[in-house]
Structure 1
Amino acid sequence: MFDMHTHFIPPEVLLWLKDNKDLVQARWEKKSPDQADFLTVNNKWGFELKESFINPKLYLQEQENAGVSHSLISPIPQLFMYDFPEYITSELSTVYNRSLADLIHDNSKRLSALATIPLNNPVNAANELKHAMNLGLNGAIIGPGLSNVMLTDDLFTPFWEEANYQKAIIFIHPLLCEDPRLQKRMMPNLIGVPWETTICAADLLLSGFLDKYPSVKILLAHGGGFLPYQIGRLNKGYEKWTGVSNSLQAPPEDYLRRFWFDNVLWNNSSLNFLIETVGYDRVVPGSDFPFDLCTWPPITNNESGVKSLLSI
């Protein structure tokens, strides 16, 4: 069984956070005796620092116990650090990526990994992506853009050109939504996260981006947000409005099948619809382990999707 959506924090990254805790406002807080410390960086997006996040042996054992034979590890979104000065983001990216490279080198049959990059400086992001892939990583995990700057903005051209040249996997994973309307009942996570993916993916699709960078393999988290389930609306807009169709060479539903999607949906009917809509080879097994809202173990083992994503 494969797991293409799982997260880990190497010990070297934790050490960096402790050494720079004042610089990045890292705080460890005990909320209850039966839970691990909660880690908060820059007063945002606190999460329980479970042992499975930070202990390589335990992480691998948990994967083995669940029947997962190979995992594609991603850095955690809480440590993207895009809202910090560029030198901080770059420094942590380098530490994180070298640590993951060492981890997969020692466990090459069981692990692959994606990098984190300093997206707040696209030139540095391109260089770090190249370096990380030279170390053996498969691409990068990124957020859906910067504050008020979409990923299709010309600002990011150096990064996308390098990603396209490298034929990299780019896993788009949102941060918690800060929409003031969603600040209750865990809605930033429950609907804000898939909503951010929806906005980002729709922009990529409608902009003609997928024709401009055809070799980038874009993986969308959590089943692609809400986009696959409203593709008919985009198709209708394509039929009716030249403002939609002018940027595209085919209907939106054709472009939808050029993304990859994880199956972290927690609902078999939704998953079956996704597979029917985009094709079996565009859906990969994932868990979001070890976050609280994980599907553990992954609910299906779709090797054709994994092979097409990893080019194996």
Structure 2
Amino acid sequence: MLDLHTHVVPPRTPFLDRLVASDARWARLEPAGATGDVLVAGKVFRTVRRVAWDLAARRVDAAAAGATGQLLSAMPELFAGWASAGDGLAYARAFNDWLAEEIGPHDGFYTGLGVVPLRDPDGAAALLADIAAAGLVGVEVPAQPPTAALHAPVWAGFLDEAARLGLLVFVHAVGGAAAADYPHPMAANGALFPASIGTAIGGLIATGAIAARPGLRLLASHGGGSLITELPRIDFLRDSTPALRELMPEPAARSARRLWYDPLLFDPALVRHLADVVGADRVVLGTDHPFMPADPVAFLDGPGLPEGFAAAVRTHNPAALLELLTS
């Protein structure tokens, strides 16, 4: 079982303490034995198990559950899209250094994704070479960066550089500003994440950004969310709109098949439809470990999915993608 959608939270460090002292909006961990509280803007956002920051304990826990490896990425609340370009860069460097150092002793069991300053797309592009040099296999970005949508021209250089370096771009759903209107963060998570990732990936497809970069390796969180409902509409409009055909040299569904997706759609019929549209080999295991209270992909073993699909999602498909990233 090779899990490509898992998260980590760095422990407190003098650098993080200095950041928090300057602005309480920075997410930070307050460990207390077997668990720890993640504080955002000075308030407890969630309580996490020790495996969220202790990679030795995490490996024992993961191996007991049958895992053969994990791709680690930052908890989305660590994106800090509000931070200045300078602070964002300093934090990204510190996080990336910490992650690269932590995964080193584990003989390939862990691979990692870096983070970048979100208010400086050019700086984000420039940092990718350092991420690759540190041995990280890609970068995680939010579905809606604070500067502009990922398909906007300001992010073109970032996407070009990621494609040139062969890095994975993991686009993770976020709640965004609308989350503040919900009485509980998990209510916002449930309602907003599918639209968030669907809008981001749909935008990259509908503007031709994916078709223009056949070498771009992109993983969409949460099964691409609403994307599978958008593709027929985009193609219908492309067929009837000459200007859209100029933007999109290929049908939306073909662009969608260039990407990878985790199966976090929570329904076998939806995952089967996703696999039918993008290809069964493009669905790779992702569980959101260690934040889900129960196994979010247990449905893979139930009825409604083709024979052998669950095994491919858990083993062959993620291994093939990881081999592409590490070869």
Normalising by structure 2, what TM-score? Answer: 0.85
Q: Please name the residue that 1:90 is paired with.
A: 89
CA drift of 1:245 comes to 2.1
CA distance in 2, matches of 1:245, 1:44: 48
Q: Deviations over 1:19-38 (max 9, x none)?
A: 422223047799xx9x9453
Q: Deviations over 1:70-119 (max 9, x none)?
A: 11111111111221111211111111111111122211331111111112
Q: Please name the residue that 1:131 is paired with.
A: 130
Q: Please name the residue that 1:152 is paired with.
A: 151
CA distance in 2, matches of 1:89, 1:29: 18
Q: Is 1:65–2:64 an aligned residue pair?
A: yes
Distance change in 2, residues 1:193/1:15 (3 Å): farther
CA distance in 1, matches of 2:44, 2:228: 27
Distance change in 2, residues 1:184/1:237 (3 Å): farther
Q: Deviations over 1:105-134 (max 9, x none)?
A: 211331111111112112221222110111
CA distance in 1, matches of 2:85, 2:176: 22
CA drift of 1:6 comes to 0.2
CA distance in 1, matches of 2:43, 2:219: 25
Q: Please name the residue that 2:321 is paired with.
A: 309
Q: Please name the residue that 1:110 is paired with.
A: 109
CA distance in 1, matches of 2:179, 2:51: 32
CA distance in 2, matches of 1:296, 1:15: 36
Normalising by structure 1, what TM-score? Answer: 0.89
CA distance in 2, matches of 1:159, 1:57: 33
8 Å CA contact retained: 1:182, 1:192: no
8 Å CA contact retained: 2:4, 2:284: yes
Q: Please name the residue that 1:21 is paired with.
A: 20
Which 5+ residue runs of structure 2 have no aligned equivalent?
Answer: 301-309
Q: Which amino acid aligns with 2:134?
A: L
Q: Please name the residue that 2:268 is paired with.
A: 268
Q: Which amino acid aligns with 2:317?
A: G
Q: Deviations over 1:131-174 (max 9, x none)?
A: 01111111100012433611122212332221121011000002
Distance change in 2, residues 1:181/1:296 (3 Å): closer
CA distance in 2, matches of 1:176, 1:243: 32
Q: Please name the residue that 1:166 is paired with.
A: 165
8 Å CA contact retained: 1:28, 1:37: no
Distance change in 2, residues 1:148/1:129 (3 Å): closer
Correspondence 1:125-274 to 2 at 5 A: 125-147=124-146, 149-179=148-178, 183-184=182-183, 186-274=186-274
Instruction: Indicate the larger mover: 73-82 or 231-240.
Output: 231-240
CA distance in 1, matches of 2:316, 2:292: 28
Q: Please name the residue that 1:281 is paired with.
A: 281
CA drift of 1:231 comes to 2.1
Distance change in 2, residues 1:207/1:83 (3 Å): same
CA distance in 2, matches of 1:209, 1:58: 40
CA distance in 2, matches of 1:199, 1:45: 29
CA drift of 1:182 comes to 5.3
Q: Show structure 1 runs of 4+ deviating over 4 A.
A: 26-30, 296-299
Q: Deviations over 1:47-68 (max 9, x none)?
A: 2233221122221122111101
Q: Please name the residue that 1:51 is paired with.
A: 50
Instruction: Indicate the larger mover: 174-183 or 257-266.
Output: 174-183
Q: Which amino acid aligns with 1:222?
A: H
Distance change in 2, residues 1:292/1:182 (3 Å): farther
CA distance in 1, matches of 2:181, 2:194: 13
8 Å CA contact retained: 1:126, 1:158: yes
CA drift of 1:189 comes to 0.3
Which 5+ residue runs of structure 1 have no aligned equivalent?
Answer: none
CA distance in 1, matches of 2:15, 2:102: 17
Q: Please name the residue that 2:4 is paired with.
A: 4
